């Protein structure tokens, strides 16, 4: 598929996988993007996931026929992009792998390849004829070896997983508006890259002055029209520039904590406050995580379970902690039967994450009723 005269898309959509990384639901699919830069020499930038070997090779042949690939540029070694390196080397035995020093042992460890590897450094260039590739290290976005390949003549950044998102790409790879992909970019960011906000910020400072007019990431559409929106959104996510709004995330076995969650949500809506309600038992926690990366307030509900937090809620809290999420306004609630512990334990986790407690928490014994549980006690403190 032609992105420009020189740049071709040779990636693919995966509509079969239910859970990306066996963790993240991809109901609208996911793409593994790979690109060719075609000039006097031909460079392939990243490969694809193992299951797509035949499609990948056929996409390449469709673009370059019998010509050979001279360089395989490795921006990122996660196997969704690196799994077909040995296949490429087998098909094009003379192709030189071009990458940075940190990727070299990973290439050996995953693919068993050790020869004909050109190790490049920050800012180094590789000429393909009329076009050039330059390499900029963006360590920990989101692995140590991650780098961006920049093509100055095409003003194109091959950005790896940065600016990537879940959701299959439309025909032609380009989209009219960022808005359709915003949610899935946020969820991808929160799930996979979210721990590395500071290194993403450093990467943005490095690549922003390049004058990017096209971004070719490894997942999701190629960005041309919407560059300021896409870069701005990434800046917002990584710098944790939060909007006023409330994420309510809860789990419930018998529906009592759920009713309390709904009562809080209703009360917030009545007061005109943005509210996002997530049932952690019904949906993957990545959906709630995405909202935590957007909004400044988090309210978490859990029944007491074996003197602890209900496991689906515990997992969600641990996911926040693992991503270094901090500085949210926080309150907890939940039902118990004989000795309520969940609210106390949720508060303790929130304190560890430097959340600001807006309320000491509302626990209630046994069944939910509006007499026992006054949602406005929390909500009034949020206004």
Ligand X SMILES: Cc1cc2nc3c(=O)[nH]c(=O)nc-3n(C[C@H](O)[C@H](O)[C@H](O)COP(=O)(O)O)c2cc1C
Q: Which stretch binds Fe ion (CB under 5 A): 77-85, 133-141, 294-302, 355-363?
A: 77-85
Q: Which of 46, 161, 279, 291 binds Fe ion (CB under 5 A)?
A: 161
Q: Which does 302 bind (CB under 5 to 8 A by kind): ligand X, Fe ion, none?
A: none
For tokens 């025909």, name the residue: 171
Instruction: Give which of 69, 57, 74 is closest to 117, Cα–Cα.
Output: 74
The least CB distance from residue 341 to ligand X, in Å, is 6
Tokens of 340: 């309520």
Q: Which does 112 bind (CB under 5 to 8 A by kind): Fe ion, ligand X, none?
A: none
Residues binding ligand X (CB under 6 A): 252-258, 303-307, 335-340, 366
Q: Which does 279 bind (CB under 5 to 8 A by kind): Fe ion, ligand X, none?
A: none
Helix (H) or strand (E) holding 6: none
Helix (H) or strand (E) holding 232: helix 227-238
The least CB distance from residue 280 to ligand X, in Å, is 12
The least CB distance from residue 77 to Fe ion, in Å, is 8
Tokens of 324: 């270094």
The least CB distance from residue 319 to ligand X, in Å, is 20
Let me know the angle formed at the C-alpha of 111 by 48 and 166, rounded to the nearest 5 degrees.
25
Instruction: Give which of 45, 135, 54, 30 is closest to 81, Cα–Cα.
Output: 45
Q: Which is nearer to Fe ion, 80 or 145 (CB)?
A: 80
Q: Which is nearer to Fe ion, 59 or 363 (CB)?
A: 59
Q: Which is nearer to ligand X, 169 or 277 (CB)?
A: 277
DSSP string, 12-36: EEE-S-SEETTTEE-TT-EEE--EE
CA distance linking residue 348 with residue 79, whole number of Å: 37
Q: Which does 304 bind (CB under 5 to 8 A by kind): Fe ion, ligand X, none?
A: ligand X
Closest-CB residue for Fe ion?
A: 78
Chain mean position to CA 108:
26
Tokens of 87: 């296949």
- Binding status of residue 226 toward Fe ion by CB under 5 A: no
The least CB distance from residue 63 to ligand X, in Å, is 55
Please give the residues from 141 up to 160 whose contact with Fe ion meets the rule CB under 5 A: none
Distances (CA, A) of 189 to 29, 64, 146, 162, 203: 16, 34, 15, 8, 15
Q: Which of 14, 39, 70, 80 binds Fe ion (CB under 5 A)?
A: 80
Main-chain phi, psi angles of 292, to 5 degrees: -65, -30
Q: Which does 291 bind (CB under 5 to 8 A by kind): Fe ion, ligand X, none?
A: none
Residues forming contacts to Fe ion in the complex (CB under 5 A) are 78, 80, 161
């Amino acid at each position: 598929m032609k992105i420009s005269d020189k740049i071709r898309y040779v990636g693919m959509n995966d509509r079969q996988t239910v859970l990306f990384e066996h963790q993240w639901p991809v109901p609208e699919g996911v793409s593994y993007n790979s690109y060719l830069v075609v000039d006097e020499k031909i460079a392939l930038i990243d490969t694809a996931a193992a299951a797509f070997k035949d499609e990948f090779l056929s996409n390449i042949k469709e673009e370059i026929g019998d010509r050979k690939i001279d360089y395989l540029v490795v921006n990122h070694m996660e196997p969704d992009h690196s799994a077909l390196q040995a296949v490429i080397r087998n098909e094009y035995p003379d192709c030189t792998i071009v990458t940075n020093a940190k990727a070299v042992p990973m290439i050996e460890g995953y693919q068993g390849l050790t020869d004909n590897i050109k190790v490049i450094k920050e800012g180094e260039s590789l000429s393909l004829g009329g076009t050039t590739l330059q390499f900029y290290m963006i360590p920990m976005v989101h692995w140590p070896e991650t780098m961006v390949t920049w093509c100055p003549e095409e003003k194109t950044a091959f950005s790896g997983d940065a600016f990537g998102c879940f959701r299959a790409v439309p025909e032609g790879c380009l989209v009219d508006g960022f808005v359709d992909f915003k949610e899935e970019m946020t969820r991808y960011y929160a799930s996979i890259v979210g721990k590395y906000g500071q290194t993403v910020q450093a990467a943005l400072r490095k690549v922003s002055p390049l004058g990017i007019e096209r971004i070719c990431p490894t997942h999701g559409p190629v960005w041309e029209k919407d560059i300021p929106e896409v870069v701005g959104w990434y800046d917002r996510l990584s710098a944790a520039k939060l909007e006023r709004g409330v994420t309510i995330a809860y789990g419930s076995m018998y529906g009592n904590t759920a009713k309390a969650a709904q009562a809080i949500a209703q009360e917030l809506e009545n007061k005109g406050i943005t509210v996002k309600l997530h049932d952690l038992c019904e949906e993957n926690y990545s959906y709630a995580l995405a909202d935590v990366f957007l909004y400044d307030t988090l309210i978490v509900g859990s029944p007491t379970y074996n003197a602890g937090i209900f496991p689906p809620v515990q997992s969600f809290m641990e996911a926040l902690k693992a991503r270094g999420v901090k500085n949210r306004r926080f309150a907890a609630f939940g039902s118990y039967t004989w000795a309520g512990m969940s609210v106390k334990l949720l508060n303790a986790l929130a304190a560890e994450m430097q959340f600001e407690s807006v309320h000491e928490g509302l626990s209630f014994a046994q069944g939910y009723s509006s007499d026992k549980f006054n949602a406005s006690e929390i909500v009034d403190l949020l206004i």
